[in-house]
Amino acid sequence: MVPTPEKPLRRIWLKVRGEYVKDHKIQALLLADLLENFQRLLYELSTKKSIKKEHLTLYVETIQEGSSAIGLLPYSGFTYLDGSGPAYRIVEDQIMNYLTKITNEKELLEWLLTQHTEKEALNILKRLMKLWSDEEKEIEIGIGETPTQGKFSKFNPQKKRIVETAYETLMKKFSKEIAGAITRVSLDQHPPRFAVYTEDGRIVWGKFDPIKQPELKEKIKNNLERPVIVRGVLNEAKNEFELVENIEPLDEVPIEDLDGLSLKKPIPLKVTFEIIPEPEGKKEIKVWCLENDELNIVGCGRTLNEALERAKENLGILIEEYLTKDDEQLHESALQVKRKLKELVEV
């Protein structure tokens, strides 16, 4: 659309104030982060199949004072004669008139899930958390000719917790548990991070908010290089927990099945983990061991899964050695193992 005196150019504005803005200039990293998340938010809020990405793609047209105001425009071919268009409508109807005025988590989730899948809603909430005002920045969004003319709405920092709570509530539907050992920590980093050497030999990173989850810092310190269960929302592609819900010690792992045999109940195995340093700067060796002293079962390996397979092999040998022999052929300690095996294994 070409502006005329009767129809001046309407821009979409992002106005930014705070410690990242100095003398009406904005830090490049914050600007890049805001623009990326705002653009992706428009894409993800769109529900009409007739509206393509190019209809919503914005271009930085001007940066002006106030404290730092970024003027954005869609490509003119996707702007209507009245100065509106798909991008303007999403900004005004969904962001300015609804999202900046949210009052509670339940209402926000209901609104999102009537139009989007759970995963789409998660992405929208993630973008909103990045854009929302907080202690370090104040964000306003609006439509008008200049940063001082037009309609503007503020992302109220006091409402950011509503968005965060909605995100956490939805994330918990995708949560899972992984077994492993905490092998690395960076608790002084922001946000604090830790690495878990998982049951199948991967390294998975987790991070958490020390203000909202102060108990996790102590749990990590108390369980360093020890077996744990970590519960949270795992991004499999990145091998990273997007949300850590809890960390608990892992004391036992059960044998729940055995090829060709039926177990009457799971057989508990005590779990231990050790890191053995290698001489001459070579890679350290991580060793898992599983034991049941009562049945003389032992299994060790480089991963927890490998140790469990070795323990199962050991159990199979014990069954073959003891349950196929007459009592007269066994000494007293072996008889005790046989009796216990008969309580646990269908023969």
pLDDT digits (tens, 9 = 90+) for 109-143: 999 999 999 889 999 999 999 999 999 899 999 99
Q: How many residues does the chain have?
A: 347
Measured CA to CA, the distance from residue 135 to residue 158 in angstroms comes to 10
Band of the pLDDT at 173, cuts 50, 70, 90?
Answer: confident
299, 290 contact by CB (below 8 A): yes
Q: What is the mean pLDDT of residues 258-267?
A: 82
Q: Per-residue pLDDT tens for 274-317?
A: 998 877 767 789 999 999 998 889 999 999 999 999 999 999 88
pLDDT in the model for residue 328: 66
Domain limit, last residue, from 223, 249, 275: 249
pLDDT in the model for residue 308: 97
Domain limit, last residue, from 142, 157, 172: 172
Mean pLDDT of the chain: 87
Instruction: Answer yes or no: is pLDDT of 176 > 60.
Output: yes
Measured CA to CA, the distance from residue 308 to residue 24 in angstroms comes to 61
Which residue shows structure tokens 């006091």? 158
Whether residue 166 is found in the same domain as residue 229: no
Three-state secondary structure readout of 45-69: HCCCCCCCHHHHCEEEEEEEECCEE
Based on the structure, what is the number of domains in the chain? Answer: 3
Measured CA to CA, the distance from residue 114 to residue 111 in angstroms comes to 6
Copy the structure tokens of residue 35: 């623009």
Task: State the amino acid at position 76 in one-letter form.
Answer: S
Whether residue 207 is found in the same domain as residue 307: no
Whether residue 54 is found in the same domain as residue 167: yes
Whether residue 215 is found in the same domain as residue 320: no
Band of the pLDDT at 174, cuts 50, 70, 90?
Answer: confident
Which residue shows structure tokens 């929208």? 124
pLDDT in the model for residue 5: 46
Residue 240 belongs to what domain range? Answer: 175-249
Within 8 A by CB and 6+ apart from 1, the residues are 7, 9, 76, 79, 80, 81, 83
Domain limit, last residue, from 234, 249, 264: 249
Band of the pLDDT at 2, cuts 50, 70, 90?
Answer: very low
Whether residue 100 is found in the same domain as residue 203: no
Within 8 A by CB and 6+ apart from 249, the residues are 223, 226, 227, 228, 229
Instruction: Answer yes or no: is pLDDT of 80 > 60.
Output: no
Band of the pLDDT at 81, cuts 50, 70, 90?
Answer: very low
130 class by beta-carbon count within 10 Å (0-12 exposed, 13-18 middle, 19+ buried):
middle
pLDDT in the model for residue 55: 85
